[in-house]
Amino acid sequence: MNEKTINIARKFKGRLISIDLIHVRLKNGRKARREIVRHPGAVAALCRRPDGKFVFVRQFRKPLERNILEIVAGTREPGESPAVCARREILEETGYKAVLLRRLGSIYSAPGFCDERIEIYFAEVIPSVIKGRADHDEDISVFCFDARKIEIMLASGKIIDAKTLAAWTLYKHRRGNK
Amino acid sequence: MNEKTINIARKFKGRLISIDLIHVRLKNGRKARREIVRHPGAVAALCRRPDGKFVFVRQFRKPLERNILEIVAGTREPGESPAVCARREILEETGYKAVLLRRLGSIYSAPGFCDERIEIYFAEVIPSVIKGRADHDEDISVFCFDARKIEIMLASGKIIDAKTLAAWTLYKHRRGNK
């Protein structure tokens, strides 16, 4: 192990995240401190409709004080598998239903200071007859774009969410779909 | 504004990050709580050598308890511009010097709960005669790969860092270099 834990102190315990302050011993014998955000883990899904358009959501993000465009994503509930979580979030956030779900990989959103791992899926979706219900504190709009429009948005800096950009990379390379 | 702040309480103040607990009023009149990580901002740089190989760094990340492969990145120092920070981090972490620096865009690593913004650069680099000095608490190894090897690693799940995946998408689309 490269950084041996000397001690851990929990500095904040929230409903979503917690903070641990860890003192470590480095390989060179020195000590260092690490401030680490603990997160329960999340899933994200790049959803494609039968007409080839991809489903994006636009929502207000309080940390940024603005609305941004992202793929579907959500935090895993206790004991929930990533695939079940992905299907639930797709329905809740977009009103579409996943008829095919393929895992593209796992990513870490901010490995320098946070343990959040996001399982990334590709989903083929169709409109659902059963409407999902977003969390009471979410206000989400759905937008659909074809691949050409997405690549124009990428090139012009319109997509700023790291997991959305990462998912696009994984989708293009995992499917040999460049 | 979609979520009006009712009150903010700082719950943790670290050397790198802080935590704010914010109570908000939603558009529908309900209240909600937001746990938000405050981060000073960072830069990352996708570096390419004259022989076409890209420079990656491998380092231990305590939140993950493992070594991972990433592009060069670092936290901005107070008052430091992103471009100056990028040049400094490239030299410190890799021993290469940026002879060209081009901004690819900005990304948010975890917009659901964290305000970290990362300025992403593409850099053309050459070996430096002046050696950089990594932070005393960093232990970094440098690896260089050509684009073909990187795309194989992307396809096989070897790259799990969100900013690295995001930077690759931005590089491919911004440069018309698919």
Instruction: Show the tokens assigned to A127.
Output: 């409109």
Strands (E), chain A: 3-13, 18-26, 31-38, 42-48, 54-61, 66-70, 72-75, 96-108, 117-127, 140-145
Largest CA distance in chain B: 61
Please say if the pLDDT value at position A177 is more than 90.
no
Contact A64 B168 (CB under 8 A): no
| Catalytically active residues of B, by annotation | 138
Tens digits of per-residue pLDDT, B67-102? 999 999 999 988 999 999 999 999 999 999 999 999
Check residue A131 and give its pLDDT.
63
Tens digits of per-residue pLDDT, A64-121? 999 999 999 999 988 999 999 999 999 999 999 999 999 999 999 999 999 999 999 9
Contact B139 A107 (CB under 8 A): no
CA-derived radius of gyration, chain A? 18
Q: State whether residue A35 sits within 8 Å of chain B by CB.
A: yes
Contact A70 B111 (CB under 8 A): yes
Q: CB-based burial of residue B155 (10 Å sphere; 0-12 exposed, 13-18 middle, 19+ buried)?
A: middle
Check residue A178 and give its pLDDT.
47
Check residue A22 and give its pLDDT.
98
Please give, rounded to a whole number of angstroms, the shortest distance from the CA of A145 to a CA of chain B: 17
Check residue B139 and give its pLDDT.
79
Residues 80-99 of A with CB under 8 A from B: none
Least CB–CB distance from A116: residue in B30, B110, B163: B110
Contact B15 A37 (CB under 8 A): no
Tens digits of per-residue pLDDT, A22-65? 999 998 899 999 999 999 999 999 999 999 999 999 999 999 99
Contact B170 A163 (CB under 8 A): no
Cβ(B173)–Cβ(A165) below 8 Å:
no
| Catalytically active residues of A, by annotation | 138
B158 contact residues in A (CB cutoff 8 A): none
Q: What is the ipTM of this complex?
A: 0.94
